[in-house]
Amino acid sequence: MLFNSFHFLFFFLVVTSLYFTVPHKWRWLLLLVSSCYFYMAFVPIYILILGITIVIDYFAGISIESAKAKNRKAFLTISLIANISVLCIFKYFNFLNHNFSFLMHGFGLKNPIPYLSILLPIGLSFHTFQAMSYTIEVYRGNQKAERHFGIYSLYVMFYPQLVAGPIERPQNLLHQFREKHRFEYFRVSEGLKLIVWGFFKKLVIADRLAIYVNAVYNNVPHHSGFSLFVATIFFAFQIYCDFSAYSDIAIGLAKVMGFHLMTNFNRPYFARNIAEFWKRWHISLSTWFKDYLYIPLGGNRVPVPRWYFNLFLVFLVSGLWHGANWTYIIWGALNGFYLIFANISQKFRDKFNQSVGLNQVPKISVFVQTTITFTLICFAWIFFRANQVTDAFTIIKKISTLRGPLFIENPSKMIYSLAAIGFLMLIEYKREYYKGRVKFFDNKNWLVRNFSYASLIIIILLFGVFDGGQFIYFQF
């Protein structure tokens, strides 16, 4: 069930109405049943996989809490192995097997291991990571083990963030299922506003840009360097709007019912360096890796070479988390490399800025830094979006010449795409640098505020792509 479908609209109306109607003690059940229905609308059978990991993690949590120090680690290991095994089987098995075949072929041997013909369960990486954060936090003593099986299941399955995050922490979410949420006007309207804004980003920007990006990236040999360059820029905005739209809608849906989910995006394309970008992009995943991988590896409190290794490894794993393909691994490695290089070149860059006087003109300095960061991120997106590694290299080669005509299938659709990006950047620029000034969406006047949101809905009707597909991050 996609957020951008009528099926979901009816589902949301029914579930939310019932949520505020049923007594508090039954609300967890209502949400759990609704979440099961929501998940089963994709591929029903996969709820069993989710069910198995929920049972394992539920008992692991209780066992970790009640066991002695030595056994606690064993229970945590069992839980982590179970979760990672599910990921490996469904997400990485065929990828690993394919690479193994390639290796065997190199030695003139045949790979006897057959491929699995299975579909990747939707949102597997998201709910697996959320489940893992629970057992880790119980192990660390930051979270009490949840004894209520239904509420624990709901923590993993809460429908707004079940398939594409934000990846929540038990300390933030679990207790909220026990709290009594009243119908509050302010909170409900804030939630609905976020949902409208999410739909705007998805339907007007992401799905519009997807038409061009797909046409060009799915047919790389037939497109010029200039078209590929434009498609890459478009993809940067497509993926941002697609994913942040999902997060906005998820946070908004939860907010309507009284739940607070963590912020997942904070205008990432205004970041001035790669490290800042990762503090603004997919925040729930970045912090997950920081808390559960980077810091346990030693973080930056280790010798410099080891620190760089830690950074590189975290981004390599992050790439692999996104998908079982070398394109994602290279994308992750590239981001890791960016960060290491930024650290190595810090002194040189500071000197250079001083010598050209850039640090004396802060506005220009910010502009230059933002542009360079955006360019580096776009370069990495080429690997993320390319269907194959060879395609990515062809794209880079073609873009480097910037030759050839610009592919324009329909001039008016191209104008809509550019206008959509312009509109988004205008709003984000205002929010980033002029927060208190010229308020439309937060205006104190009811008419101005509501007219702004009504206009957003009208723009969706006028320029939205209603036949667009699912959210990109569903596949992860």
Partner 1 sequence: MLETIIYKINKSDFSYFVIKLSLFLFLVFSLDFIIGHTLRYFYFKQQSGLQYEATFAIEKTKANVLIFGSSRACNHYIPSVLEEKLGLTCYNAGRYGSPILYHLAVLKSVLKRYHPKMIILDVNLQEFEKIEGSYDVLSSLLPYYKTHPEMRSIIEMRGKYEKLKLLSGIYPFNSEMLTIAIGNTEMNKKRRDTFDGYIPLRNKWIDPIPDYAFPQDYDVDSNRLQAYKVFINDCKKANVNLYIACSPYLSKNRFKDRSISIAKAIAKKENVPFFDYSNYLPLIKPYLYHDTPHLNQDGARFYSNLVANEILKTSLIKGIR
CA 154 to chain centre: 21
Distance CA 308, CA 104 (A): 32
Q: Determine the straight-line distance between the first and last CA of the chain, rounded to whole angstroms.
A: 16
22 binds partner 1, rule: CB under 8 A: no
Per the CB < 8 A criterion, the answer to whether 167 and 261 are in contact is no
107 binds partner 1, rule: CB under 8 A: no
180 binds partner 1, rule: CB under 8 A: no
Task: Give the count of beta carbons closer than 10 Å to the beta carbon of residue 149.
Answer: 14
User: Which of 413, 430, 431, 439 forms a contact with partner 1 (CB under 8 A)?
Assistant: 413
Q: Letter for the amino acid at 193?
A: K
Region of 171-179, 182-190, 214-222, 345-353 interacting with partner 1 (CB under 8 A):
182-190
Q: What is the DSSP string of 421-453?
A: HHHHHHHHHHHHH-TTSS-STT-SSHHHHHHHH
Catalytic entry in 127, 223, 282, 322: 322
Region of 212-220, 273-281, 296-304, 453-461 interacting with partner 1 (CB under 8 A):
453-461
User: Which of 68, 185, 363, 437 forms a contact with partner 1 (CB under 8 A)?
Assistant: 185
Count of residues of this chain found to bind partner 1 when the rule CB under 8 A is applied: 27
- Sign of the Cα torsion 346, 347, 348, 352 reads positive
User: Which of 66, 219, 359, 455 forms a contact with partner 1 (CB under 8 A)?
Assistant: 455
415 binds partner 1, rule: CB under 8 A: yes
Region of 47-55, 140-148, 391-399, 452-460 interacting with partner 1 (CB under 8 A):
452-460
User: Which of 292, 374, 441, 451 forms a contact with partner 1 (CB under 8 A)?
Assistant: 451
Q: Is 181 a catalytic residue?
A: no
User: Which of 217, 416, 471, 476 forms a contact with partner 1 (CB under 8 A)?
Assistant: 416
Least Å distance between CB 227 and partner 1? 17
* Closest among 105, 117, 102, 111 to 389, alpha carbons compared: 102
Region of 228-236, 272-280, 396-404, 461-469 interacting with partner 1 (CB under 8 A):
461-469
Distance CA 461, CA 458 (A): 5
- Give the number of C-alpha atoms closer than 13 A to the C-alpha of residue 1, restricted to the C-beta side: 20
Per the CB < 8 A criterion, the answer to whether 191 and 255 are in contact is yes
Region of 72-80, 274-282, 338-346, 444-452 interacting with partner 1 (CB under 8 A):
444-452
In the structure encoding, which two tokens stand for residue 91, read together?
A: 């997400």
Least Å distance between CB 413 and partner 1? 7
Least Å distance between CB 458 and partner 1? 5
Binding flags for partner 1, 267-286, as an x/- string (CB under 8 A): --------------------
29 binds partner 1, rule: CB under 8 A: no
User: Which of 37, 374, 453, 474 forms a contact with partner 1 (CB under 8 A)?
Assistant: 453
What is the DSSP code (8-state) at residue 253? H
Judged on CB neighbours under 10 Å (0-12, 13-18, 19+), 333 is buried
User: Which of 129, 464, 471, 472 forms a contact with partner 1 (CB under 8 A)?
Assistant: 464
Judged on CB neighbours under 10 Å (0-12, 13-18, 19+), 107 is exposed
User: 107 vs 185, which CB is nearer to partner 1?
Assistant: 185
Distance CA 291, CA 296 (A): 7
- Sign of the Cα torsion 291, 124, 248, 338 reads positive
User: Which of 134, 246, 265, 463 forms a contact with partner 1 (CB under 8 A)?
Assistant: 463
Interface ranges with partner 1 (CB under 8 A): 6, 20, 182-185, 188-189, 412-413, 415-416, 446, 450-451, 453-455, 457-458, 461-467
Which of the residues are catalytic? 322
